[in-house]
Amino acid sequence: MKGKTIMAQFDYDLFIIGAGSGGVRASRVSASYGAKVAVAEERYVGGTCVNVGCIPKKLLVYASHYSEDFIDAAGFGWTVGERSLNWQKLIANKDKEIARLNDIYRKLLSDSGVEVIDERAEVVDPHTVVVGGRKITAKYILVAVGSWPMVPKFPGSEHAITSNEAFYLQSLPRNVIVVGGGYIGVEFAGIFEGLGVHVTQIYRGELFMRGFDDDCRITLAEEMRKRGVDLRFNVDIEKIEQTDGGLRATLTNGDTLHADQILYATGRIPNTASLGLQNIGVQLKYTGAVAVDEYSKTNVDSIYAIGDCTDRMMLTPVAIAEARAVAETLFNNNPIMPAYLNVPTAVFSTPAVGTVGITEAEAREKFKNIDVYKTSFRPLRHTMTGRDEKTMMKLVVDGASNKVLGCHMVGPDAGEIIQGLAVALNCGATKAQFDATIGIHPTAAEEFVTMRTTTAPRG
């Protein structure tokens, strides 16, 4: 339907609810194919990633790394003078950058001919939404409402904050308890620790970072402990009380901890409550996630859903890939199912984790003969600083086909390194092809093409 709108009986060809990572991309690509598009946004253009997610998080991670850089500089002959952190300045500069990005997103939308409506939208029938008291019709409705942090209810849970508030704290706390063992939890633990805060991280399971390769989980725990993060597993918070000096948390093992802030990073729930979807028969999963097929279509033909609110993989590039696929399918006569194989991901903990493909445990379940190549070493930089830090790298290989099934890393720049390896895995690279690749010397990344000895017997 390139170049013209679909039908005159609707106000729009496509109405999108939510101008986050997914909604913005779907708007722009659909409009580029000639669709008449409007997007409703109730809070902030750019959504979670730009405002309270990936971007501000990474900026704070950068800020947190300076503390150890100042110390490490001594090994290279530098004398670093007195240093202190101005938290208010850091947050103000971060906010300035986010405001700049908000403007860019808005301009991208208006330049594409997309109408932005700064209101909450709700669905009232398969082709109608209500926005700011006004009814608007569309041939297709795309739900891209994202997700929201979830704090479980328990005595004193109202004193807890989430990542949303952590980005806007008035002052830097002296003591923080981070609850939760997922990537957002370890990232904030690293941020606060690097900024000089005493951090205790609590996780109710045996070992945090469930779903990641066990060697990454173990290495990260060791490295975080070396940096001074007080990691406590197999325990949870029972109650939180306000005291004169701050907050007191009582743990399930009877211990008490004092903190200025208690940050819950215990999961995110799809933003689908009171959106009107169930009233018109759109199926939701028990988590509240919108149920969709491989083309992101719900059980109602005119309604599609993408991104975090479908709870497939809560990652910005995945929401963007789903958005593009919907736009291609609906407005370019080019049906696309997004591929979820070998989605690389990085955790911006300190040190960072990067991973693509399957873990050793998954490989052992799915394949008969698995070869594992693993190395752990002190990065070159720390031969001069004396810092006791290890980088871990690991390849999981199918013994029968020689294909590399998974690449895992804990160490500086893990995300930057794993991105390239994701291309190799998507091309079906074998271990022999990794071995035939010349390394870049001296880098940490070269280890991925120089590991020659298996570290575990074939299982």
Ligand X SMILES: Cc1cc2nc3c(=O)[nH]c(=O)nc-3n(C[C@H](O)[C@H](O)[C@H](O)COP(=O)(O)OP(=O)(O)OC[C@H]3O[C@@H](n4cnc5c(N)ncnc54)[C@H](O)[C@@H]3O)c2cc1C
Q: DSSP E strands: which ranges in 126-267?
A: 128-131, 134-143, 147-149, 175-179, 198-203, 230-233, 237-243, 246-251, 256-259, 261-264
Smallest distance from the beta carbon of 55 to ligand X, in angstroms? 8
Smallest distance from the beta carbon of 22 to ligand X, in angstroms? 3
Residues in the interface with ligand X (CB under 6 A) total 36
Out of 163, 219, 261, 385, point to the residue binding ligand X (CB under 6 A): 163
Out of 34, 156, 317, 399, point to the residue binding ligand X (CB under 6 A): 317
**Which residue, 149, 147, 166, 145, is CA-closest to 59?**
166
Cα–Cα distance, 6 to 403 (Å, whole number): 46
Active site residue: 65, 159, 258, 441, which one? Answer: 441
**Contact (Cβ atoms closer than 8 angstroms) between residue 135 and residue 88:** no
Q: Which stretch binds ligand X (CB under 6 A): 5-13, 18-26, 282-290, 404-412?
A: 18-26
Cα–Cα distance, 421 to 440 (Å, whole number): 14
Would you give the binding string for ligand X spanning residues 33-72, x where CB under 6 A is met?
Answer: -------xxxxx--xxx--xxx--x---------------
3-state per-residue secondary structure call for 112-152: CCCEEECCCEEEEECCEEEECCEEEEEEEEEECCCEEECCC
Cα–Cα distance, 318 to 325 (Å, whole number): 11
C-alpha 112 chain-centroid distance: 27
Q: Is 145 in the site for ligand X (CB under 6 A)?
A: yes
Out of 30, 200, 316, 349, point to the residue binding ligand X (CB under 6 A): 316
Active site residue 65: no
Q: Is 121 in the site for ligand X (CB under 6 A)?
A: yes
Cα–Cα distance, 358 to 362 (Å, whole number): 6
Q: Taking CB under 6 A as the criterion, which residues in 178-197 touch ligand X?
A: 184
Cα angle vertex 261, ends 308, 58, to 5°?
45
**Contact (Cβ atoms closer than 8 angstroms) between residue 172 and residue 197:** yes
Q: Is 23 in the site for ligand X (CB under 6 A)?
A: yes
Out of 136, 195, 249, 275, point to the residue binding ligand X (CB under 6 A): 275
Out of 59, 240, 282, 315, point to the residue binding ligand X (CB under 6 A): 315
Q: Is 231 in the site for ligand X (CB under 6 A)?
A: no
Smallest distance from the beta carbon of 310 to ligand X, in angstroms? 8
Q: Which stretch binds ligand X (CB under 6 A): 16-24, 230-238, 240-248, 291-299?
A: 16-24
**Which residue, 331, 434, 411, is CA-closest to 2?**
331
Backbone angles phi, psi at 298, to 5 degrees: -80, -175
Q: Which stretch binds ligand X (CB under 6 A): 30-38, 74-82, 86-94, 140-148?
A: 140-148
Q: Taking CB under 6 A as the criterion, which residues in 318-337 touch ligand X?
A: 319
Residue closer to ligand X by CB (options 19, 292) is: 19
Smallest distance from the beta carbon of 175 to ligand X, in angstroms? 21
**What are residue 371's DSSP bridge partners?**
397
Query: What's the DSSP call for residue 403?
Result: B
- List the catalytic residues: 441
Query: Which residues of the shown chain bind ligand X in the complex (CB under 6 A)?
Result: 17-23, 40-44, 47-49, 52-54, 57, 120-121, 144-146, 163, 184, 271, 275, 307-309, 314-317, 319
